């Protein structure tokens, strides 16, 4: 049962186009080293000065926004690729920052004709979005093996592709206090969030305005709900350790990017010992726990931060 759904970035973009004829879309299409934002980061700026999204914040973002404001008045503006090197000894491409990385940005002046396309993407975010010197295209029947692809030969021969079907997906099993705190953080990390609980609408689930989908259903049916995939992250944190064990046993055979159980080291030893009698070693090894980085966290907010930090480690291929 679908109880709530956020307005997506693309719907916000379409809504903004309904009220202005000047709107600049900014995308990070490539990133290397220590850069303020990674590939796929998005932001838009209207002629009225309203913006949504981020290029990483700070002085660099303000510099990009000033550039975008100037270009908004150019009615003949074509899609433009801009490279920035974040080091002081760089020549023409220096950004003024010293973090040491490189970042490639795409500036795309949105037109009223793009509104319908953005509405289609918002309604069915599955397909490949393409930007090139010729403009914008969306192919809903296509799929890439990677979330983003960028190729560049020169200023008139480049292509950026984004696989919207590979959105990061978080499935949080249990709608309690940690679930609410974790949803809040994962929403800022561009996760599509689903929270599942078999109880009749606990207050924390009702107050969770960060999840796109909230399901009330028996946990015994959960295996059919959660898909497999490299962008799927599963967090088990129900009200009962016995329930956690049953759910982990159901999902251990799933090939997902992350399958973790909230709990102490002693709880996890007990859980795995019980599951070892009926699960193959390979499946048992997929279950992570205790989840989260060891920062001596106790409150729901602290625990959520520790889990999100572990997820960031994985996303950035640090583990």
Q: What is the pLDDT of residue 301?
A: 97
Domain ranges for the chain, please list them. 9-122, 168-315
Q: How far apart are CA 299 and CA 180, in angstroms?
A: 12
Give the distance, in angstroms, between the CA of residue 53 and the centroid of all CA atoms in the same chain. Answer: 12
Phi, psi of 302 (to 5 degrees): -65, -40
- Residue 318: its pLDDT value, please? 65
In this model, does residue 97 exceed pLDDT 50?
no
Q: Which CATH number fits domain 168-315: 3.30.70.1150, 3.90.1150.10, 3.40.50.2000, 3.40.50.720?
A: 3.40.50.720
- Render pLDDT for 10-37 as a digit per residue (tens, 0 to 9): 888 999 998 888 899 999 998 876 555 6
> What are the tokens at 198?
């078999």
Q: Which residues contact 218 (CB under 8 A, 6 or more apart)?
A: 198
- Angle at Cα 249 formed by Cα 196 and Cα 2, nearest 5°? 15
Question: How many alpha carbons lie under 13 Å from residue 112 in its C-beta half-sphere?
Answer: 5
Instruction: Output 73 or 98, whichever has higher pLDDT.
Output: 73
Reported as a pLDDT band with limits 50, 70 and 90, residue 133 is very high
If one counts every other C-beta atom within 10 angstroms of the C-beta of residue 312, the result is: 13
pLDDT tens digits, 174-226: 999 999 999 999 988 878 899 999 987 778 888 888 887 888 899 999 999 89
d(CA 291, CA 30): 31
> Locate tokens 């292509």: which residue?
159
| CA dist., res. 51 & res. 266, Å (int) | 47
Calculate the average pLDDT of the chain.
Answer: 86
Tell me the residue length of the chain.
319
For 218-260, the pLDDT digits (tens) are 999 999 989 888 889 999 999 999 999 999 999 999 999 999 9
């Amino acid at each position: 049962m679908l109880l709530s759904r956020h307005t997506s970035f693309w719907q916000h973009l379409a809504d903004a186009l309904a009220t202005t004829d000047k709107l600049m879309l900014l995308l990070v299409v490539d990133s290397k080293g220590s850069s303020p934002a990674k590939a796929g980061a998005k932001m838009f700026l209207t002629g009225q000065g309203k913006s949504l999204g981020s290029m990483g914040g700070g002085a660099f973002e303000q510099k990009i926004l000033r550039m975008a404001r100037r270009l908004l008045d150019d009615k003949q503006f074509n899609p433009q690729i801009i490279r920035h090197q974040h080091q002081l000894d760089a020549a023409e491409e220096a950004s003024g920052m010293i973090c040491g990385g490189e970042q490639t940005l795409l500036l795309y002046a949105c037109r009223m004709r793009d509104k319908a396309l953005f509405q289609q993407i918002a309604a069915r975010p599955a397909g490949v979005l393409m930007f090139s010197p010729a403009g914008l295209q969306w192919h809903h029947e296509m799929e890439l093996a990677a979330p983003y692809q960028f190729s560049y030969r020169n200023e008139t021969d480049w292509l950026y592709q984004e696989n919207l079907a590979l959105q990061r997906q978080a499935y949080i099993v249990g709608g309690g206090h940690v679930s609410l705190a974790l949803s809040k953080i994962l929403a800022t990390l561009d996760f599509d969030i689903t929270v599942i609980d078999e109880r009749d609408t606990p207050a924390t689930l009702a107050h969770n305005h960060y999840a796109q989908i909230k399901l009330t259903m028996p946990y015994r049916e959960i295996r059919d709900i959660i898909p497999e995939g490299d962008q799927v992250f599963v967090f088990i944190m129900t009200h009962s350790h016995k329930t956690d064990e049953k759910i982990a046993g159901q999902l251990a055979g799933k090939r997902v990017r992350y399958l973790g159980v909230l709990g102490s080291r002693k709880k996890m030893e007990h859980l795995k010992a019980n599951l070892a009698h009926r699960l193959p070693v390979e499946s048992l090894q997929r279950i992570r726990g205790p989840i989260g980085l060891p920062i001596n966290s106790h409150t729901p907010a602290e625990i959520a931060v520790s889990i999100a930090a572990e997820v960031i480690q994985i996303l950035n291929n640090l583990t």
